[in-house]
Amino acid sequence: MAGPGGDMQWCFSQVKGAIDDDVAEADIISTVEFNHTGELLATGDKGGRVVIFQQEIENKSQPQFRSEYNVYSTFQSHEPEFDYLKSLEIEEKINKIRWLPQKNAAQFLLSTNDKTIKLWKISERDKRPEGYNLKEEDGRYKDPNTITSLRVPVLIPMDLMVEASPRRVFANAHTYHINSISVNSDNETYLSADDLRINLWHLEITDRSFNIVDIKPANMEELTEVITAAEFHPHQCNTFVYSSSKGTIRLCDMRASALCDKHSKLFEEPEDPSNRSFFSEIISSISDVKFSHNGRYMMTRDYLSVKIWDLNMENRPVETYQVHEYLRSKLCSLYENDCIFDKFECCWNGNDSVVMTGSYNNFFRMFDRGHRRDVTLEASRENSKPMQVLKPRKVCAGGKRKKDEISVDSLDFNKKILHTAWHPQDNIIAVATTNNLYIFQDKVN
């Protein structure tokens, strides 16, 4: 594909969610994730619900309308709970969703809130049994005296029904809030990370998990950093990384020992002393880490930038992209309104040539790695006519504002795009604004 700043244009495809400006807290989208084929797209929200969209079979007569995503299944994954021992409320908010590689006709995903991870099965049923011995199909009982022969039920076709059923509940292993889950390439284990620990689970065993990283100091007053994200390598089953609030990423090799306290690689960029400020540590905290599909690189997102690291080079990233550098002068007010603690996620496109991440004012950014080009796009109701091409946006960083530019001061910091996802093969992206899910795709000429 060509770069997003170059030949390719993105156009609006769909928007999901309520239109009114009144946003119910429970409807706020908290995670977005495509499955491995891209046929299904899952979202989780603050109300503990998971909504799965399915891509329709392509419509041959209207090639410009590529397969749309429609609701396939909706279910309540987590309920609010109360921890009586600690007098703490446990929110139902879905922090992360991860799809499992497909193992049979059904689909499986892991969803997690702060404390409990659940394995869900989403399966289809298109047949139902018919025929009772002792009652009619409508439920009325037959006179038992009339039974002169036995009847075996038969299965007859019915309208497709999609069922979501909880298969496993992985609970009671996290003292702190779970921020990441990641399925291992061995297809039988996964990790879950909270602020201070990472646990390793077997997908079929719920009563036991192994602690593989523990950074909790003996004395909590000595605590200087927390784990912010963790992910398994896409192919090497023994390798995983975790990022910290200090801006470092540690790569661990599970072959070396059972407890991965000692990392095998530490990725860290020396700080530029000229940029040092009160906010340095806060903005260097990594909010997301993602391996590239080919497993050679990983991408990290901190408050102002996206960095691409080559796994073979620990001392600095190979690429750094500024997401919204114009906010550097605004850090003070962003600290006051807590925006500085927003956790932006990031994602790769299917062939690792473009990366995408979110910003404020419902803007999201794409960086074309090969062409060193970037673009700012907006997810908004105004641009939501079918196949409407998204116009690149520009923020004026100071000086004289040109036509079509938006001044930094007029950005709406309540409209933030934290969660985005890219179809594993195609140029289809899902972008979550507060309570809407936008789907965009490249323009087919």
Partner 1 sequence: AAEEGGPCQSKMAGADGDDSLYPIAVLIDELRNEDVQLRLNSIKKLSTIALALGVERTRTELLPFLTDTIYDEDEVLLALAEQLGNFTMLVGGPEYVHCLLPPLESLATVEETVVRDKAVESLRKISQEHSPVDLEVHFEPLVKRLASGDWFTSRTSACGLFSVCYPRVSSTVKAEIRQHFRTLCSDDTPMVRRAAASKLGEFAKVLELDYVKSDIISLFTALASDEQDSVRLLAVEACVSIATLLPQEDLETLVMPTLRQAAEDKSWRVRYMVADKFSELQKAVGPEITKNDLVPAFQNLLKDCEAEVRAAAANKVKEFCENLPEDNREQIIMTHILPCVKELVSDTNQHVKSALASVIMGLSTILGKDNTIEHLLPLFLAQLKDECPEVRLNIISNLDCVNEVIGIRQLSQSLLPAIVELAEDAKWRVRLAIIEYMPLLAGQLGVEFFDEKLNTLCMAWLIDHVYAIREAATCNLMKLVEKFGAEWAQNTIVPKVLGMANDPNYLHRMTTLFCINVIVHCCGYPYREITTKQMLPVVLKMSNDQVANVRFNVAKSLQKIGPVLDSNALQTEVKPVLEKLASDTDMDVKYFAQEAISGECLSSSTIVDKLNT
For residue 165, the minimal CB distance to partner 1 (Å) is 9
Instruction: Tell me how far, at minimum, the Cβ of 43 lies from partner 1, in Å.
Output: 24
Q: Is 101 an interacting residue with respect to partner 1 (CB under 8 A)?
A: yes
CA distance 271 to 11: 39
Q: Which stretch binds partner 1 (CB under 8 A): 33-41, 63-71, 103-111, 329-337?
A: 103-111
Contacting partner 1 within 141-160 (CB under 8 A): 141-155
Q: What angle do CA 305, 311, 313 make, to 5 degrees?
A: 80
Q: Minimal distance in Å, beta carbon 187 to partner 1?
A: 5
Q: Which two tokens stand for residue 298?
A: 């990983």
Nearest-CA neighbor of 275 among 294, 302, 244? 302
- Residue 218, interface with partner 1 (CB under 8 A)? no
Please tell me whether residue 105 binds partner 1 under the rule CB under 8 A: yes
Under a CB-based contact definition with an 8 Å cutoff, are residues 19 and 27 in contact? Answer: no
CB of 297 to partner 1, least distance (A): 19
Pairwise CA distance, residues 14 & 113, whole Å? 28
Question: Which residues touch 289 (CB under 8 Å, ≥6 apart)?
Answer: 229, 230, 231, 241, 242, 243, 249, 298, 299, 300, 301
133 vs 333, beta carbon nearer partner 1: 133
The H or E element spanning position 118 is: strand 117-130
Site string for partner 1, 367-386 (x = CB under 8 A): --------------------
Rule CB under 8 A: is residue 133 a binding residue for partner 1?
yes
- The reply on whether position 261 binds partner 1 by CB under 8 A is no
Binders of partner 1 among residues 188 to 217 (CB under 8 A) are 188, 204
Least separation, in Å, of the C-beta of 347 and partner 1? 24
Residues 6+ apart with CB under 8 A from 130: 137, 153, 154, 155, 156
**Closer by beta carbon to partner 1, 146 or else 274:** 146
Q: Whole-number minimum distance, CB 312 to partner 1, in Å?
A: 18
Phi, psi of 412 (to 5 degrees): -95, 110
Binding site for partner 1 (CB under 8 A): 101-106, 108, 121, 123, 125, 127, 129, 132-135, 139, 141-155, 163, 167, 185-188, 204, 235-238, 254-258
